[in-house]
Amino acid sequence: MAEIKIVCDYPRSPRKLWQAMTDPAKLLGAVRKKMLTVGLPALLANLDDTGALRKPLAGA
Distance of CA 48 to the CA centre of its chain: 13
pLDDT digits 0-9 by tens, 39-48: 878 777 777 7
Q: Is 47 helix (H, G, I), strand (E, B) or coil?
A: strand
- Give the pLDDT confidence of 6-25 residue by residue, as tens digits: 665 555 667 766 766 677 77
Q: Where are the alpha helices (DSSP H) in the chain?
A: 14-22, 24-38, 40-45
Any domain includes 7: no
**Does 34 reside within a domain?**
yes
> Is 25 within the bounds of a domain?
yes
In a domain, 28, yes or no: yes
Instruction: Identify the residue with better confidence: 29 or 21.
Output: 29
Tell me the residue range of the domain where 23 lies.
14-45
Residue 2 lies in a domain: no
Q: How many domains does the chain have?
A: 1
